[in-house]
Amino acid sequence: MTIRFDNRVAIVTGAGNGLGRRYALDLAARGAKVVVNDLGGARDGSGSSVSAAQAVVDEIVAAGGEAMANGASVTDADAIFAMVEEVKAKWGRIDILINNAGILRDKTFTKMTLDDFRMVLEVHLMGSVICTKAVWDLMREQAYGRILMTTSSTGLYGNFGQANYGAAKLGLVGLMKTLALEGAKYNVKVNTVAPLAATRMTEDLMPPEMLAKMGPETVSPASVYLVSEDAPTNVILNAGAGGFESANVTLTRGIHVGADAMTPETVAERIAEIRDRTGEVVPDTGGGQGAMALGGGR
């Protein structure tokens, strides 16, 4: 099986460097027309320049592909909606959106300003919301769409000094889970990747010998698959350094008690049973929690 994207149009945000650049190049090499979106700012979100995006476009064109550069900030709704209209006018459709743009403003929570917290949420979470909203109705109308969110091990499992980043990244998982349900009957599939990659976002977070094994090319196979025609939906794939894993939000079997035992003391006494992961399930929707509670645990 060879995965191709002939006659497909893809938008990749944050595509001027790192993971986004790799995604753009790989999609183009497999036949997609690619919009290379990148604000061209620093790692903390300051500054702007379209030169990074244009450099990636030049690479794609030199290799025989089709691409266009766009320097809109993902936090600027008017600019993003204008980008989508421009793409529609040029190529007639949009099939793929990879929400990859991001910034870092790492500090311990006690030292982190509310502005730093808010800005990271604006770029990662609201930026993905804005870009997705801009293409959502078009994808529904054409009965085809593939959208990829980008979470992180910080969002899934936590990491010291990244409260803002972790909150944004887990928020994207919740967004993906609801949109996967809402897009299902329109053939709009929504997935999430959790990259482990050596980029300018991670260059001072890990030792050089580890980063050497974690190039963007080790993540791209998962991301490219998750936006392909035969992709699943509502899936989180962790990828990097040659490893590919599936992350899941699970529910234990728990316990079920009568009215007379619904006390904090019961929870305290039986917390080990409640947390026992034997036979845990992965609910298809948020209603799974209610079904479990009403159906009875151990």
Q: How far apart are CA 243 and CA 113, in angstroms?
A: 35
Q: How far apart are CA 269 and CA 262, in angstroms?
A: 12
Q: What are phi and psi of 256, to 5 degrees?
A: -135, 125
Catalytic residues: 165
For the chain, how far is it from start to end, CA to CA, in angstroms?
45
Q: Which tokens is 266 given?
A: 């019961």
CB atoms inside a 10 Å sphere around CB 292: 17
Long-range contacts of residues 203-211, Cβ cutoff 8 Å, at least 24 apart:
210/241
